[in-house]
């Protein structure tokens, strides 16, 4: 069975984006019951005579407009969202409920410690849980995203080496790393040594041995790597680094493959970040809130960002600011508190067994897809997959169909695309991460869609390279959309209120 998006698009059947017409209102105010004031007196020259071109629209029109727009989008609530490396899992509604509880949702960062003990206890409990899950000894919850966690972690490593008298110069990064890793190392002032992966997509240990010396501050390793492969020589990698006084940083964004099964702290990692918005259940994407706690070994404790959560002699929790060796603040206040609540709710709701089961299901789902799609798509690395599987478009490019085309066609079948063209070590990559959230039924629909597209690529490649066909808009200029986003309604730059119809091709609205 194949699910197809049924939304009918007819660009000529035009209701247009601009709906304003003079005199309409979406509100009704009671009569003024206080003395009227002269805005000029209150605001001087800043007082405005008129509001300029504001949309004038009725309540039902504005509700329909936004409700209709919301149905043009794809969401995890509509179906599978297999965007590899992003861990787009379902986020239980109960976590949202807990994060919005009055005492938590309304807590203010300037609230005195005395009346913040509950909120602080959440930070403490979450810190303990995350240290337990990662096998680490100390943690900061401050960083606001994964990449920000990397930045914080590498600054910690730098501060550690500096305290020994030499920050060192280089960071080693495998070619299978997430793009944020080299960016992080560069912004922290390091020279980047690129390490080529071996034929299994893993770190080439003998090559690494030649590269590590006492000018190397550390290595940044994504484990499982971006091709979804676990580094089987991780102990040897850690030993090689430690022998030369270098540190092992782990990009822990892929912890959805490890939680409850193995702990980075136990296999030699010194510093790592977690992506709470990936592994620990916060809705993300579209620039929503992130959280990238950094967990590390005890030697990094004195360098952690301030303020640091501490237990006072009377047993009360509070923040300690006086930490002379600290790298300083990396974010205002204490981090994204709502996400800490969600993460803790997620951890407690699952418990140790539930978290382990989650990991096993995520890995099983990825391997189910791998098994079913092997043959239809080329598998560049035969090494066992963890939580995600990476195919390439090599079989399809023979007919002129590329990974981006297959992804666009997938939209017609009612799925969010997988990650395209990443990781870079796989030319034409299709990176698929189903997460534990999906049932066998949904996975089968996805597999059917992918097989069907593989068939189309052979029999009717034009159909695939011109996809999507069933969406409101087709192939947009993604670069300009990212570089110069249009994020809000703007009136036309003309004196007169323009006629009702201003049709921008990308904003044509149909019913």
Ligand X SMILES: *Cc1c(COP(=O)(O)O)cnc(C)c1O
Return the range that interacts with ligand X (CB under 6 A); candidates 109-117, 139-147, 417-425, 426-434: 139-147
Q: Which stretch binds ligand X (CB under 6 A): 250-258, 298-306, 422-430, 461-469?
A: 250-258
Polymer length of the chain: 511
Q: Does 435 bind ligand X (CB under 6 A)?
A: no
User: Minimum CB separation from ligand X for residue 296, in Å?
Assistant: 17
For residue 275, state whether it binds ligand X (rule: CB under 6 A).
yes
Q: Which of 139, 36, 146, 80 is nearest to 436 (CA)?
A: 80
Please report whether residue 432 would count as binding ligand X according to CB under 6 A.
no
84 contacts 257 by C-beta, under 8 angstroms: no
197 touches ligand X (CB under 6 A): no
Contact region with ligand X (CB under 6 A), list: 141-149, 212-220, 241-249, 318-326: 141-149
Query: Near ligand X by CB under 6 A, which window of 145-153, 164-172, 237-245, 417-425?
Result: 145-153
254 part of the interface to ligand X, by CB under 6 A: yes
**Residue 152 binding ligand X, by CB under 6 A:** no
Residue nearest to ligand X (CB): 146
Residue whose token pair is 């990094």: 300
Q: Applying CB under 6 A, does 253 fall inside the site for ligand X?
A: yes
Quickly tell me which residue has 């004195």 as its tokens.
302
**Does residue number 134 form part of the binding site for ligand X (CB under 6 A)?**
no
Smallest gap from residue 449 Cβ to ligand X (A): 24
What does the per-residue mask of binding to ligand X show for 443-482, with x meaning CB under 6 A?
A: ----------------------------------------
| Options 158, 161, 168, 178; binder of ligand X; rule CB under 6 A | 178
Range in contact with ligand X (rule: CB under 6 A) among 246-254, 307-315, 325-333, 480-488: 246-254
CB of 476 to ligand X, least distance (A): 22
160 and 249 in contact (C-beta within 8 Å)? no
> Which residue, 282 or 326, has its beta carbon nearer to ligand X?
282
Within positions 290 to 329, which residues make up the interface with ligand X, using CB under 6 A? Answer: 290, 292
Cα separations (Å) of 506 from 13, 267, 415, 464, 491? 15, 51, 22, 22, 16
Number of helices (H), then strands (E), belonging to the chain: the values are 16, 12
> Considering the rule CB under 6 A, would residue 269 count as an interface residue with ligand X?
no
Q: Which of 251, 270, 393, 405 binds ligand X (CB under 6 A)?
A: 251
Helix or strand holding residue 222 (H, E) = strand 216-222
Count of other CB atoms within 10 angstroms of residue 312: 10
Contacts of 34 (CB under 8 A, 6+ apart): none
Whether the CA torsion 21, 24, 26, 32 is positive or negative: it is positive
142 contributes a contact to ligand X by CB under 6 A: no
Closer to ligand X by Cβ: residue 251 or 393: 251
Q: At 278, phi and psi to the nearest 5?
A: -100, -70
292, 363, 359: which is closest to 142 by C-alpha? 292
CB-wise, 184 or 396, nearer to ligand X?
A: 184
If the CB atoms of residues 413 and 422 are measured against ligand X, the closer one turns out to be 422
Q: How far is the CB of 226 from ligand X (least distance, A)?
A: 6
d(CA 238, CA 198): 18
| Interface pattern 198-237 for ligand X (x via CB under 6 A) | ------------------------x---x-----------
Contact between 386 and 230 (Cβ < 8 Å): yes
CA distances from 111 to 106, 118, 119, 318, 335 (A): 10, 12, 10, 12, 15
Residues in contact with ligand X, counted by CB under 6 A, come to a total of 14
Angstrom distance (rounded) from CA 437 to CA 408: 23
Report if residue 85 touches ligand X, rule: CB under 6 A.
yes
28 vs 88: CA distance, rounded Å: 42
Task: Determine the Cα–Cα distance for residues 386 and 371; give it in Å rounded to an integer.
Answer: 13
Considering only the stretches 115-123, 140-148, 387-395, 453-461, report the one whose residues sit in contact with ligand X under the rule CB under 6 A. 140-148
Pairing type for strands 247-252 and 429-432 reads: unpaired
In this structure, are residues 341 and 99 in contact, taking their beta carbons and an 8 Å threshold? yes
Interface with ligand X (CB under 6 A): 85, 145-147, 178, 180, 222, 226, 251, 253-254, 275, 290, 292
């Amino acid at each position: 069975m194949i699910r197809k998006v049924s939304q009918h698009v007819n660009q000529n059947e035009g209701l247009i984006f601009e709906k304003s017409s003079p005199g309409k209102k979406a509100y009704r105010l009671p009569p003024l019951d206080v003395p009227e004031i002269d805005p000029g007196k209150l605001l001087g020259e800043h007082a405005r005579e008129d509001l300029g071109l504001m949309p004038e629209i009725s309540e039902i029109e504005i509700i329909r407009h936004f409700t209709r727009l919301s149905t043009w989008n794809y969401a995890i609530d509509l179906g599978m969202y297999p965007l590899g490396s992003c861990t787009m899992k379902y986020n239980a509604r109960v976590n949202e409920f807990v994060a919005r509880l009055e005492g938590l949702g309304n807590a203010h960062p300037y609230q005195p410690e005395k009346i913040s003990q509950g909120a602080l206890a959440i930070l403490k409990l979450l810190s303990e849980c995350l240290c337990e899950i990662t096998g680490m000894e100390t943690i900061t919850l401050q960083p606001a995203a994964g990449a920000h966690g990397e930045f914080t972690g590498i600054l910690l490593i730098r501060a550690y080496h500096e305290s020994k008298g030499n920050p060192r110069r280089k960071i080693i990064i495998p070619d299978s790393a997430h793009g944020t890793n080299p960016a992080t190392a560069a912004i922290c002032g390091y020279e980047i040594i690129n390490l080529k992966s071996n034929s299994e997509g893993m770190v080439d240990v003998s090559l690494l041995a030649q590269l590590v010396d006492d000018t190397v501050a550390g290595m940044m390793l994504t484990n499982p790597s971006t091709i979804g492969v676990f580094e089987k020589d991780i102990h040897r990698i850690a030993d090689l680094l430690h022998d030369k006084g270098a540190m092992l940083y782990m990009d822990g964004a892929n912890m959805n493959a490890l939680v409850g099964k193995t702990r980075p702290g136990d296999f030699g990692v010194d510093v790592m970040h977690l992506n709470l918005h990936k592994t620990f259940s916060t809705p993300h994407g579209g620039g929503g809130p992130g959280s990238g706690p950094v967990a590390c070994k005890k030697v990094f404790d004195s360098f952690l960002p301030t303020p640091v959560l501490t237990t006072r002699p009377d047993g009360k929790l509070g923040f300690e600011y006086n930490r002379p060796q600290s790298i300083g603040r990396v974010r205002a206040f204490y981090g994204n508190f709502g996400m800490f609540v969600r993460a803790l709710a997620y951890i407690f709701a699952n418990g140790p067994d539930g978290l382990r089961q989650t990991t096993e299901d995520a890995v099983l789902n990825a391997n189910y897809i791998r098994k079913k799609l092997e043959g239809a798509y080329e598998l560049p690395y035969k090494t066992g997959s963890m939580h995600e599987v990476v195919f390439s478009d090599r079989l399809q490019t023979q007919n002129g169909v590329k990974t981006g085309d297959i992804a666009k066609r997938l939209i017609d079948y009612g799925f969010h695309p997988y990650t395209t063209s990443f990781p870079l070590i796989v030319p034409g990559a299709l990176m698929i991460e189903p997460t534990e959230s999906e049932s066998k039924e949904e996975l089968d629909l996805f597999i059917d869609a992918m097989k069907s597209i593989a068939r189309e690529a052979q029999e009717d490649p034009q159909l695939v390279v011109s996809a999507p066909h069933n969406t409101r808009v087709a192939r947009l200029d993604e670069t300009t959309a990212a570089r110069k986003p249009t994020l809000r309604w703007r009136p036309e730059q003309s004196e007169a209120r323009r006629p009702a119809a201003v049709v921008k091709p990308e904003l044509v609205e149909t019913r």
